Amino acid sequence: MSDMNLGITERLEPILDAVRTMVRDEILPLDAEFLAEVGKGDRWSYTPRQEEILEGLKKEARKRGLWNFWLTDSDRGYGLSTVEYAYLAEEMGKAQLGAEVFNCSAPDTGNMEVLERYASDVQKQQWLEPLLDGKIRSAYLMTEPDVASSDATNIAMRCVRDGESYVLNGEKWWSSGAGDPRCAIYIVMVRTGDDEAPKHQQHSMVLVPADTPGIEKIRAMEVYGHDDAPHGHLHLRFTDVRIPVDHLILGEGRGFEIAQGRLGPGRIHHCMRAIGQAEYALEMMCRRALRREAFGKPLAHLGANYDIIAECRMDIEMARLLCLKAAWMMDQGDARAAAPWISQIKVIAPQVALRVTDEAVQMHGGQGVSQDTPLARAWTGLRTLRLADGPDAVHRRQVARNELRKYTQERV
Ligand SMILES: Cc1cc2nc3c(=O)[nH]c(=O)nc-3n(C[C@H](O)[C@H](O)[C@H](O)COP(=O)(O)OP(=O)(O)OC[C@H]3O[C@@H](n4cnc5c(N)ncnc54)[C@H](O)[C@@H]3O)c2cc1C
List, for residues 171-212, the tens digit of each pLDDT value.
999 999 999 999 999 999 999 988 889 999 999 999 999 999
The protein residue whose alpha carbon is closest to atom 42 in ligand 1 is 393
Ligand 1 atom showing the smallest separation from residue 107 Cα: 8
CATH 3.40.140.10 fits 256-405, yes or no: no
Q: Which of ligand 1's atoms lies nearest the C-alpha of 141?
A: 11
Ligand 1, atom nearest to 390 Cα: 21
Share of the chain above pLDDT 90, in %: 90
CB atoms within 10 A of CB 229: 15
Q: What is the pLDDT of residue 266?
A: 81
- Among 149, 347, 383, which residue has the most ligand 1 atoms within 8 Å of its CB, making it the best to mutate? 149
pLDDT at 334: 87
Q: Domain 137-253, what fold?
A: Butyryl-CoA Dehydrogenase, subunit A; domain 2 (2.40.110)
Q: In degrees to the nearest 10, what's the CA dihedral of 405, 407, 410, 412?
A: -40
Which CATH number describes the domain made up of 12-105? 1.10.540.10
Q: pLDDT per residue over 56-93, tens digit each? A: 999 999 999 999 999 887 777 788 999 999 999 999 99
At residue 328, the pLDDT reads: 96
Q: Are strands 158-162 and 215-220 parallel, antiparallel or unpaired?
A: unpaired
Cα-to-centroid distance, 158 and ligand 1 (Å): 20
Domain extent listing, the chain: 12-105, 137-253, 256-405
Whether the pLDDT of residue 412 is over 90: the answer is no
CA of 292 to the centre of ligand 1 (A): 40
Instruction: Average the pLDDT over each of 13-17, 93-97, 196-200 and give the range with the smallest value.
Output: 196-200
Segment 218-262, tens digit of pLDDT: 999 999 999 999 999 999 999 999 999 999 999 999 999 998 877
Cα–Cα dist 222/35, whole Å: 16
pLDDT class of 342 with cuts at 50, 70, 90: very high
Distance (Å, whole) CA 103 – CA 69: 8
pLDDT at 295: 98
- Name residues contacting ligand 1 (CB within 6 A): 107, 140-143, 148-150, 174-176, 223, 233, 384, 387-391, 393-394, 397
Residue located nearest, by CA, to atom 35 of ligand 1: 393
Nearest ligand 1 atom to alpha carbon 381: 1
